[in-house]
Amino acid sequence: MTTVLRTERMLYGGDYNPEQWPEEVWAEDMALFRQARINSVTLNVFSWATLQPAEDEYDFTRLDRIVKTVSEAGLSIVMATSTAALPAWMSLRYPDVNRVDVQGRRMRHGGRHNACISSPTYRRYSAALAERLAERYSAEPGIVAWHVSNEYGGFCWCDNCAAGFRDWLRARYGTIDAVNDAWNAAFWSHTYHSFDEIFPPGELGDALGEKSVLPGFSLDYRRFYGAAVLESFREEKAAIRRFDAERPVTTNLMGTFPDYDYFDWGDDLDIVSWDSYPAHDTTPAQICLAHDLMRAVGHQKPFMLMEQTPSRQNWQPYNSLKRPGQMRQQSWQAVARGADTIQFFQLRQSRAGCEKFHGAVIGTDGTAETRTFREVAELGAELARTSPRIMGSQVEHGAVAVVFDWQSRWGIGLSAGPSRSLDYVREVERWYTELHRRNIPVDVVPATGPFDGYAAVIAPCLYMMGDETAGALRRYVAGGGRLLLTPMSGLVDEYDRLHLGQAPVPLRDLAGVWVEETDALPPSTVVPLAFGEDGDGGGGATATILCDVVHPDAGTEVLARYAGEYYAGTPALTFKPSGEGGGVFYSASFPDADGVRLTVDALLSGTGVRAADLPEGVELSRRVAGDGRVLTFLINTTAVPQEVRVDVSGTELLASASFDGATTLEPYGVAVVETAP
Ligand code: GLA
Ligand code: ZN
């Protein structure tokens, strides 16, 4: 197994669908790619219906010609397995491949990302196709990676899935009594007497829209389904491995996408790859959080930016264009956070179909005369020159860790109450955004750590706390770590059963407070917060969404209090010291930006972790090469020039000029400073 891309330069290219075009166009494409310094293509993402026109017939003639064309043009190939959209004959002959939706309707052929993952037919033929592709093409020197399926997502609620779920439950629980116990099935007469009584919790059963009658049941269904998807990925990967022992195998993930717990995938993906599609109103902090999360899935190693649009999307409500310079800026932002490739969706625009308005490197004019093409070509030249000095370097270890936990997110999401304004990802962003604003290096980490080496750990809404998570956090605090908890922390075990006792039960002693009750604030209602001993340090900060009413222990410091509601004067932020300089901070509410700022001040005080002194909207982050060279990325995410003065010197790689710490970054401008060890 290999985890590195064996390329000298960063892969620069992306999804290429020549099968949608007559062959004369391919030659034009090769010439334009050369002009844009595109060096790689991702092929064969959606071609199953032509690769296997009938059950016992395979036809690779067109793919052979495509591979020959791009190989002769000197392009590297990311070869996809084409298993993300079913051929129509398969849907007709074997209806088990078609998903049953949450309302119990069996789908017909159509769309994509449409296979039931439990379908024996799908599993057999997807692995068979991957195997035939590997057999046929693994000798191609141009192939640099394999791309299994595409953007795995969604669920199925069919009888095969029901059977698979029952097997999964038997393996996990052994007996039906253990299942009943885990799900607290006595609730609303759900006690089961045999595994055969259990069906997927869709809308014919226990799903209440997004919520669930028995969240433990629905959680287990998600876990089962995600495990089956991963299993299917493994089968395709194993099929590829029969003919290619070497090249990395990946599938493209989607950042904070909700459906599957991507941390389960980290060991199976030879390299993480992901698709970044910020909307016009996505903040730079949200984009960076997604990069940091994807890097975390790959154990903090470099990843592939498998897709981004060079200009605009088509599937958002408002598909604003990236402004001049912004595609370059977002590309370098990805590199700064660990991307070792820059790839686009897509290289040539589709002529028809629902993506005909999606941006592409080559538009329907078929020329190099567009702004998009020029910007792609300029970035291509820049990466060709500089990327060998960057590839393989590691993003510097974070000073602060932010926990992201799909299990807590699912548990909260499936639970009715306490507030519909509660959104797990927004709560992670609330804290991440403040660290991003300060340019503090952050690692996103799973709930079980590792937490070593972080001056502070922020665990927003860490709702689900089993023994492993609680143990890891306890060890961190005992070793001098500073941990910040928020409302909705430590409430349930891994079966979504409330811990009995004073919340946050598993960390009750370390937290130094207990939560007596939790108030949900109606929309646009806030409660003033008073920070500091005299209560005058609030500066207008407010609590939003949820307010825990808490009781501090003796020895717990009260750092802020509520200044409104019947709980005025009670603690809103506490600190219980323990260990050397460490301890637990409990933020009893979700503070607004001012409140978050003051809370982070308290959390980091005395740790030596400091904000970089930069204008708002300028990012600074670092990667460290194996030979000790430090690469400092300065990124202007705003549309206006920014004066920057930093304590960094060396060579600015993009302009090949010496750098002494002062520069003006153009709108969306970037500087990459290399400092010798
Ligand atoms: C996803 C898919 C691509 C394409 C793009 C459009 O990332 O993987 O096939 O549909 O979205 O933005
Ligand atoms: Zn199914």
- Closest Cα to atom 12, ligand 1: which residue? 313
DSSP string of 65-129, one letter each residue: HHHHHHHHTT-EEEEE--TTS--HHHHHH-GGGBPB-TTSPBP-S-SSS-B-TT-HHHHHHHHHH
DSSP string of 207-253, one letter each residue: EETTEESSHHHHHHHHHHHHHHHHHHHHHHHHHHHTT-SSS-EE-EE
User: Is 633 in contact with 336 (CB distance < 8 Å)?
Assistant: yes
Rounded to whole angstroms, the maximal C-alpha distance in the chain is 79
Whose CA is closest to 440, among 562, 240, 601, 299?
Answer: 601
**Domain covering 400-604, topology:** Rossmann fold (3.40.50)
Domain ranges of the chain: 11-157+220-391, 400-604, 618-675
Q: How far apart are CA 47 and CA 392, in angstroms?
A: 32
For strands 143-147 and 76-80, give the pairing. Answer: parallel
pLDDT for position 539: 73
Query: Which superfamily does CATH assign the domain made up of 11-157+220-391 to?
Result: Glycosidases (3.20.20.80)
* Cα(277) to centroid(ligand 2), Å: 29
Contacts 24+ apart (CB under 8 A), 227-230: 227/168, 227/264, 228/117, 228/118, 228/161, 228/164, 228/168, 229/117, 229/152, 229/260, 230/260, 230/264, 230/265, 230/268
Q: How far apart are CA 77 and CA 67, in angstroms?
A: 8
Q: How far apart are CA 316 and CA 426, in angstroms?
A: 19
pLDDT for position 613: 92
**Residue 254 Cα: closest atom of ligand 1:** 7
* Tens-digit pLDDT profile for residues 511-528: 999 999 999 999 999 999
pLDDT for position 1: 41
Expressed in angstroms, the distance from the first to the final Cα of the chain is 31
pLDDT for position 636: 99
Residues of the chain with pLDDT under 50: 1-2
- Average pLDDT of the residues of the chain: 97
* Choices 2.60.120.200, 2.60.40.1180, 3.30.70.2860, 3.90.105.10: CATH for 618-675: 2.60.40.1180
* Tens-digit pLDDT profile for residues 570-617: 999 999 999 788 999 999 999 999 999 999 999 999 999 999 999 999
Q: Where are the alpha helices (DSSP H) in 242-370?
A: 284-297, 326-336
Are 11-157+220-391 and 618-675 the same fold in CATH?
Answer: no
Whose CA is closest to 221, among 253, 269, 183, 186?
Answer: 183
Q: Which ligand is nearest to the CA of 149?
A: 1
**Residue 315 Cα: closest atom of ligand 1:** 12
Residue 315: exposure state from Cβ atoms within 10 A (0-12, 13-18, ≥19): exposed
DSSP string of 451-497, one letter each residue: -TT-SEEEETT--B--HHHHHHHHHHHHTT-EEEE-SS-S-B-TTSP
Which residues are annotated as catalytic? 151, 307
**Continuous segment of H or E residues that includes residue 145:** strand 143-147
- Relative orientation angle of helices 215-241 and 159-173, to the nearest 10 degrees: 100
pLDDT for position 274: 99
pLDDT for position 7: 83
Q: Nearest 5°: phi and psi at 559?
A: -100, -20
* Cα(164) to centroid(ligand 2), Å: 9
Top mutation candidate among 151, 273, 276, 312 for ligand 1, by most atoms within 8 Å of CB = 151
For strands 11-15 and 40-43, give the pairing. Answer: parallel
User: Residues near ligand 1 with C-beta < 6 Å?
Assistant: 150-151, 275, 277, 307, 313, 345, 355, 358
Q: How far apart are CA 654 and CA 335, in angstroms?
A: 13
Q: Under DSSP, is residue 642 helix (H, G, I), strand (E, B) or coil?
A: strand
* Cα(586) to centroid(ligand 1), Å: 41
